[in-house]
Amino acid sequence: MFDSKILEDSKYITNTFNPSFKKDLKLCTDSRAFVQGMAFLGIKGEKFDGGKFLEQILEKGCPLAVISNETFQLNSVEEIAKKYPESKIVLVSDTIKFLQEISKKRRDEWVSNGGRIIGITGSNGKTTTKEMLFAFADKIYPGCVLKTKGNLNNHLGVPFTLLDLEDSQKIAIVEMGTNHPGEIQFLCELAGPQSGMISSVGVAHIEFFGTVEKILEEKGALYRYVRDHADKESIFLLNALDKNLKTLPSFPGVIRLGEEVTFTIKDDQSVDLFWNDSEISFKNSNIQEDYNIQNLIAAFLLINACIPGHTFDLIEVLKNFKLPKLNRSEWIFDKNKHIFLDAYNANPTSMMAALRSFKNYLVRNKLDIEKSLIVIGDMNELGDQAEQHHHAVANLLNELGLNKAFFVGRYAHYYADEFRGTFSKVFQTTDELKKEWPLHYANNEYFFLKASRSLQLESIIDIR
């Protein structure tokens, strides 16, 4: 929600039509999703221009529409403005920069009234950990916490999140993603996080960065921003269990998970957390993966430090948090079938961690490994390192003794080249796999499904 007065001094405005007014509005960028009480921003990109829907949105009663000054001839806009005299029309030179500008103004306005922003990024687990952070913060301030919707974590998504800030909210959890150098720094300058965390640094989007060291440099922009802009309430959760993040030095307000705070996970998945010269024990039966237990602990520590005095309430969340169904680290149980589904994204670091966790799950629950079937697909954005990383995953399957596997996608043959199990098959597409899936689903009991989003591997689940 933002007050339309923040538009008035934008350096990107070139023309305005019809009366000025001051009113709290929500922002809409899709004319099909418009409802009363929304302003419309017709974003102009390289291949699309939302401003072309100007008349359709005004016909619905939109009180304020912002479009590119390149969408229509000026005289055409003048005619449209005469037709809809109760609606204000604003022309801007760059719709995306305008969006970013007004979102930062809204952020500054909200923070000046006491709001606190927590930033999160990472190669793996950032969206899941964002949900965990939200659950902890919402326990303390129910209904007064904003989080990034879905994975709207780029140069458009972060501004959308900031413009959703409500005066009644106390905490905003802003997810930041990147696939090119400099993006995290730019998003930090927009969102201005006072606290934050990096979930992990690994081999993700390496096609655009080249080395893990450069990925650390990119993700580390959040760490540096919080460090350089810290106030007395700033907290940064540093995951020192990650060999790359461990290299970052502390500053006042840093909590080092794995060093000053440690934990052990027992065979029954109960956890002992050693922290502040005390021990907290809990068990969350909703989470099976060690890496997600680690993410849950990290989120707990960060929120507990950002909003002190509520530890006992937060321990209840530790015990009861349940992962939302996001096609990420989701367990599906169908009679005697156990299915691990993580079809949203895949990179070498997350793939290997998930496979190890799946093997641990089988061992811990005394399940027959020979009744398991691994289904893995492409790991994208690896560039000229694609072959070596797919080979490495196949070798991990060999090491773990996971002997039956299906490989799907354009890189499937790289897996097959190195796999030494007893049974395997290559499929070029998910549709090819679907044709054979019912037979193999019937003949196995434990399934691991993971691939990059492009394969939509979750679509085979309904074919049983």
Q: Domain holding 207: CATH number?
A: 3.40.1190.10
pTM, rounded to two decimals? 0.90
Q: Looking at the structure, do residues 168 and 204 belong to the same domain, yes or no?
A: yes
Q: What Rg do the C-alpha atoms of the chain give, in angstroms?
A: 24
Quick count: other Cβ atoms within 10 Å of Cβ 449? 25
Q: Is residue 99 part of a domain?
A: no
* Mean confidence (pLDDT) of the chain: 93
Q: Domain holding 335: CATH number?
A: 3.90.190.20
Q: Looking at the structure, do residues 165 and 310 belong to the same domain, yes or no?
A: yes
Q: Is residue 102 part of a domain?
A: no
Q: Which of 286, 320, 354 is the last residue of a domain?
A: 320
The pLDDT, as a whole number, for residue 319 is 96
* pLDDT band per the 50, 70, 90 thresholds, residue 237: very high
The pLDDT, as a whole number, for residue 433 is 96
Quick count: other Cβ atoms within 10 Å of Cβ 388? 11
Q: Is 423 exposed, middle or buried (0-12, 13-18, 19+ CB in 10 A)?
A: exposed
Q: Is residue 338 part of a domain?
A: yes
Q: Looking at the structure, do residues 338 and 419 belong to the same domain, yes or no?
A: yes
Both tokens of 215, joined, read 């990925």
For the segment 130-143, the average pLDDT, to the nearest whole number, is: 98
CA distance 158 to 151: 10
Backbone phi and psi for residue 405, each to the nearest 5 degrees, phi listed first: -150, 145
CA distance 382 to 203: 8
Task: Using alpha carbons, select from 237, 229, 231, 293 the residue that is nearest to residue 266.
Answer: 293
Q: Looking at the structure, do residues 16 and 60 belong to the same domain, yes or no?
A: yes
Q: Is residue 188 part of a domain?
A: yes
The pLDDT, as a whole number, for residue 238 is 97
For the segment 62-88, the average pLDDT, to the nearest whole number, is: 94
> Is pLDDT above 80 for 420?
yes
> Is pLDDT above 80 for 240?
yes
Q: Looking at the structure, do residues 220 and 135 belong to the same domain, yes or no?
A: yes
Q: Looking at the structure, do residues 163 and 305 belong to the same domain, yes or no?
A: yes
For the segment 284-312, the average pLDDT, to the nearest whole number, is: 95
The pLDDT, as a whole number, for residue 44 is 94
Backbone phi and psi for residue 220, each to the nearest 5 degrees, phi listed first: -65, -10
Q: Is residue 104 part of a domain?
A: no
The pLDDT, as a whole number, for residue 2 is 63
Residue 25 gets the label, from left (phi > 0), alpha (psi -120 to 50) or beta, of beta
The pLDDT, as a whole number, for residue 269 is 87
3-state secondary structure at position 125: coil
CA distance 187 to 184: 5
Express as a percent the part of the chain with pLDDT over 70. Answer: 98
Give me the DSSP letters along 211-237: SHHHHHHHHHHHHHHHHHT--TT--EE
Backbone phi and psi for residue 461, each to the nearest 5 degrees, phi listed first: -60, -35
Q: Is residue 100 part of a domain?
A: no
pLDDT digits 0-9 by tens, 356-387: 999 999 999 999 999 999 999 999 889 899 99
Q: Which of 295, 320, 345 is the last residue of a domain?
A: 320
Q: Looking at the structure, do residues 121 and 58 belong to the same domain, yes or no?
A: no
200: CB partners within 8 A, 6+ apart? 122, 123, 124, 125, 239, 242, 245, 349
For the segment 221-247, the average pLDDT, to the nearest whole number, is: 96
Task: Using alpha carbons, select from 339, 286, 338 the residue that is nearest to residue 457.
Answer: 339
Q: Which of 94, 127, 155 is the last residue of a domain?
A: 94
CA distance 313 to 299: 14
Q: Looking at the structure, do residues 159 and 262 belong to the same domain, yes or no?
A: yes
State the distance between the two ends of the chain, measured CA to CA, in whole angstroms.
Answer: 45
CA distance 294 to 284: 12
Q: Looking at the structure, do residues 274 and 162 belong to the same domain, yes or no?
A: yes
Q: Looking at the structure, do residues 38 and 154 belong to the same domain, yes or no?
A: no
Q: Is residue 68 part of a domain?
A: yes
pLDDT digits 0-9 by tens, 256-276: 999 999 999 988 889 999 988
Among the residues of 61-166, which ranges form H helices?
A: 74-83, 95-112, 126-140, 157-163
pLDDT digits 0-9 by tens, 12-53: 999 999 987 667 788 889 888 898 889 999 999 988 999 999
CA distance 426 to 447: 17
Q: Looking at the structure, do residues 316 and 337 belong to the same domain, yes or no?
A: no
Residue 143 gets the label, from left (phi > 0), alpha (psi -120 to 50) or beta, of left
Q: Domain holding 89: CATH number?
A: 3.40.1390.10
pLDDT digits 0-9 by tens, 389-400: 999 999 999 999
* pLDDT band per the 50, 70, 90 thresholds, residue 203: confident
The pLDDT, as a whole number, for residue 326 is 66
- Owning domain of residue 251: 114-320
Q: Is residue 304 part of a domain?
A: yes
3-state secondary structure at position 383: helix
What is the number of structural domains in the chain?
A: 3
Q: Looking at the structure, do residues 142 and 226 belong to the same domain, yes or no?
A: yes
